[in-house]
């Protein structure tokens, strides 16, 4: 099995399109291209123009036998559909064989979130006696207070900070720029890290393009290091929940809605392109109310 030269060129052009015009992140770009490459290898040297709806349906049946989750299958379908939309737009094909084929419905699981007490327990158990420990606590508090993604936080440079206005500029999915807000306590802890702690980790300049959060070698702190540090704290306190940096984001959104924030405002703060992505947090809030009701009401 292989891929013909023409299809390989189309895939290369598609990758360039996703990078230059759609501003896909490196991670998403790699996933989409891998999905399309797997499909092209499966069709085995067939020309793009020869692949019809029946052939695409056969591929869906094939991957359906491989024990992928519905979410993974849905992403693979989305990748191939995006590829064919690109080919149609470029007038390489006259017909898109993926248009009339539906994939499995994705199961929407309610996101995990933390209570205020659980967040404070995590923060209180970060060892701030070391510079890196203090840095980690500031990071966890910033994730909780702002709702930013871990990639947005690790990508922060000093030019992104406007601490006088309690504002931070972040670049989300598709390199979309937005402003996130932070409370005074978080701002002061972040300022303390910048002015008194970061140079104890590694002495560097604090120029506009320099990273805010650095490792022991002075380089930008990577997402993996943040996840590892959080996992260690959660394991030490034996919190009976799976806690990742993204759970802080879920907790941020849930808390805002519970306290009466407008859904559109939460959408803006999270940087969601569609309000449908934000609406899942309303279900979290309702489910939490139901749980409290069932536990406390005598007639429940």
Active site residues: 149, 173, 246, 249, 272, 281
CA distance 119 to 142: 12
CA distance 48 to 88: 11
Kindly state the greatest CA–CA separation across the chain.
70
* Nearest by Cα to 231 from 249, 244, 241, 246: 244
Residues 6+ apart with CB under 8 A from 211: 154, 155, 156, 157, 219, 220, 221
Label each residue of the chain as H, E or C. Answer: CCCCHHHHHHHHHHHHHHHHCCCCCHHHHHHHHHHHHHHHHHHCCCCHHHCCHHHHHHHHHHHHCCCCCHHHHHHHHHHHHHHHHHHHHCCCCCCCCCCCCCCCCCCCCCCCCCCHHHHHHHHHCCCCCCHHHHHHHHHHHHHHHHCCCHHHHHCCEHHHEEHHHCEEEEECHHHCEEEEECCHHHHHHHHHHHHHHHHHHCCCCCCCCCECCECCCCCECCHHHHHHHHHHHHHHHCCCCCCCHHHHHHHHHHHHHHCCCCHHHHHHHHCCCCHHHHHHHHHHHHHHHHHHHHHHCCCC
């Amino acid at each position: 099995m292989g891929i013909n030269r023409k299809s390989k060129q189309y895939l290369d052009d598609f990758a360039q399109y996703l990078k230059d015009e759609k501003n896909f992140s490196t991670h998403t770009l790699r996933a989409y291209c891998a999905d399309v490459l797997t499909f092209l290898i499966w069709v085995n040297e067939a020309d793009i123009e020869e692949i019809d709806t029946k052939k695409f349906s056969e591929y869906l049946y094939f991957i359906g036998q491989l024990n992928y989750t519905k979410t993974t299958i849905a992403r693979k379908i989305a990748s191939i559909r995006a590829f064919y939309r690109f080919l149609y737009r470029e007038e390489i094909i006259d017909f898109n064989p993926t248009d009339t084929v539906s994939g499995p419905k994705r199961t929407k699981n309610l996101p995990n979130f933390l209570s205020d007490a659980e967040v404070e327990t995590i923060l209180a158990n970060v060892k701030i006696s070391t510079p890196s420990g203090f840095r980690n606590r500031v990071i966890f508090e910033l994730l909780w207070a702002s709702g930013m993604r871990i990639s947005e936080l690790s990508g922060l440079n000093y030019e992104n900070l406007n601490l006088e206005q309690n504002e931070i500029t972040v670049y989300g999915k598709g390199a979309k720029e937005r402003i996130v807000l932070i409370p005074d306590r978080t701002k002061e802890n972040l300022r303390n890290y910048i002015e008194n702690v970061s140079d104890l980790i590694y002495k560097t300049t604090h120029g506009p393009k320099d990273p805010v959060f650095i490792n022991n070698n002075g380089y930008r702190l990577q997402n993996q290091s943040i996840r590892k540090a959080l996992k260690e704290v959660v394991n030490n306190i034996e919190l009976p929940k799976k806690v990742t940096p993204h759970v802080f984001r879920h907790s941020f959104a849930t808390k805002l809605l519970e306290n009466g924030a407008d859904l559109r405002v939460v959408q803006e703060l999270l940087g969601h392109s569609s309000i449908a992505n934000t609406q899942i947090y309303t279900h979290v809030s309702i489910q939490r109310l139901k749980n409290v009701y069932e536990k406390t009401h005598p007639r429940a």
